[in-house]
Amino acid sequence: MRRKVVLYNPRAVFWTMPLALLAIRSMLDRDRYDVVIVDGRLVDDPLGAVLAAIDDRTVCVGVTVLTGAPIRDALHVTRGIQSARPALPIAWGGWHPSLFPDQCVRDAGIQAAVIAQGECTFAELVERWSAGGTAVGVSGCAHEVDGRIVIEAPRPTVDINQFPAHDYGLIDVPKYFAEKGRRQLDYISSQGCRFRCEFCADPFVYQRSWFGLAPERMGDELEQLWRRHGFDDVNFQDETFFTSNTRATAVAEQILQRGLTFSWAATMRADQGVRLDDAALALCKRSGLRRAMVGVESGSQRMMDWMKKDVSLDQVFATAERLRAAGIGGLFPFIVGFPDEPDDTVAETMKVLKQLRAMSPHFDAVVYFYQPYPGSPIADLAWQRGYPQPASLEAWAEFDYVGARGPWVTPDKWRQIQRFKFYQRHAFGLHPSAVHAPLRWLSRFRVDRDFYRWPVEQWAVEALVPPERLS
């Protein structure tokens, strides 16, 4: 009898395809296991859909869990399964279980929390549970034994080229196109990050390892997916797509040689951008590169060095100029409100952001208040400075990574940055419509003069279209 595995993706405010679930499915024996993916974002009753997918053949349920609001839905569905099917094993994987495996096992009452790379660990758990066994001795997971949480030995990270291709046939791809409002495919071509930024949890989870799929394999997979689904854009969901410039240009060559006509967006560090020669950048542009996301984080070199970004502002502007000259868009994320950050470095960040946005109408920028993502050294400093570290899954579910701020950020500073974020968003970019032109002019007037008192334009716009709370 073929067994079944049910995988669940919790509700969230973004529409990225559930690539983590496609990844762990790739290692399960296709001749022995049927896999069903339920995406809570696409159904009216997530718990009902999961329970309907479970039958007597089901070995276990796997849930991917991000820190923040998705935890709330993951807990709701998990507890509903436990009530209806108390003997059915449940495993959580993803970022939060990788950082707090003991908390997840304890608070959610699950049979295993998968830590870091999950393909091999989850496959072994499925085999154990299918045979009536337990998680004892399974590397790369946490579980409970006689009331005590046991964290097993770490599992060595595997080169992702050893894993089979993701099976997009398990998800309703057109539904994601509809929710995104465009025929955009999400695809991940690498795993991990070699760099040491101290605000990021990736170095903690993947120990600064990085593996990228071979360009020829990517060409094969993208061509098959393109012919099947007819997408017109690919969003590469990599931490650092341009880690290997040789690989990145080889991917561009694969796209061109196969006659694939879609645009694509990817992540690029500023030091990678300055090392990519003009011919290679032009090749990427011809293959469809429409935008590079270049994490700047701060407009202060002092702050960048403090967070061990290992990038210079000169490299940021040089990369931005190269993107502008090549006709490629840029997205530049910034973070403000770090513990102990002085006001002058926040002002420098606002200045650099304005300079970048003014370089090209195809450049955009986003500003986040620093939130201590677990597992990073700066997060440890935040706890020391009095930030209340959530002590339960329910508390982490309330953790808002966009609208919240640390207790060291004064109300005046928070209001100033929130207003700056609004006005810089409307001050730059492509030519506005006649309706939006007055807001563009007023926003640019304010941004040029750093004048954000009495933000009546912001009040009016947000009264009509309330900003969405993100996490």
CATH number at residue 54: 3.40.50.280
Last residue of a domain, one of 121, 151, 181: 151
Q: Number of H helices and number of E strands within the chain?
A: 20, 15
Is 219 domain-assigned? yes
Give residue 249's identity as a one-letter amino acid code: T
**What is the per-residue pLDDT for 400?**
65
What average pLDDT does this structure show over 334-340? Answer: 91
| Residue 409, pLDDT above cutoff 90 | no
Indicate whether 109 and 25 sit together in one domain: yes
- Is the domain of 128 the same as that of 175? no
| Shared-domain flag, residues 78 and 115 | yes
In a domain, 470, yes or no: no
Backbone φ and ψ for 375, nearest 5 degrees, come out as 95, -5
- Average pLDDT (79-87) is 98
Alpha carbon 286 to its chain's center: 27
Is 410 found in the same domain as 380?
yes
> Domain holding 249: CATH number?
3.80.30.20
Q: How many CA atoms lie within 13 A of 323 on its CB side?
A: 33
245 within 8 A of 294, measured Cβ to Cβ: no
- Lowest-confidence segment of 118-122, 362-366, 433-437, 458-462 by average pLDDT: 433-437
The per-residue pLDDT for range 150-175, each reduced to its tens digit, is 999 999 999 999 999 999 999 999 99
Is the separation of the CB atoms in 237 and 188 below 8 Å? yes
Domain finish residue from 151, 177, 200 = 151
pTM: 0.93
Residue-level pLDDT at 469: 60
Mean pLDDT throughout 426-446? 91
Check whether 470 has a pLDDT greater than 60: no
| pLDDT band per the 50, 70, 90 thresholds, residue 38 | very high
Mean pLDDT of 222-251: 97
* Residue that finishes a domain, picked among 124, 151, 178: 151
With bands split at pLDDT 50, 70 and 90, how would you rate the model's confidence at 370? confident
Same domain (yes/no): 371, 265:
yes
Which pLDDT does position 404 carry in this prediction?
Answer: 66
Domain that holds residue 36: 3-151
Same domain, 169 and 103: no
3-state secondary structure 207-276: CCCEEECCHHHHHHHHHHHHHHHCCCEEEECCCCHHHCHHHHHHHHHHHHHCCCCCEEEEECCHHHHHHC
Q: In whole angstroms, what separates CA 96 from the centre of its chain?
A: 13
More confident of the two residues 399 and 285: 285
Among 239, 343, 233, 325, CA closest to 274: 325
Beta-bridged to residue 364, according to DSSP, are 331
In a domain, 248, yes or no: yes
Quick one: average pLDDT of 389-406?
79
Is residue 297 one of the residues assigned to a domain? yes
Q: What is the DSSP letter of 434?
A: T
Residues 6+ positions from 92 with CB-CB distance below 8 Å = 62, 63, 64, 65, 74, 78, 104, 108, 110, 112, 113, 114
Within a domain: residue 88? yes
The per-residue pLDDT for 116 is 94
How do residues 110-144 score in pLDDT, each as one tens digit?
A: 999 999 999 999 999 999 999 999 999 999 999 99
Number of domains composing the chain: 2
Cα 210 from Cα 206, distance rounded (Å): 8
- Secondary structure E strands in 294-350: 329-336
Tell me: pLDDT of 471 over 60: no
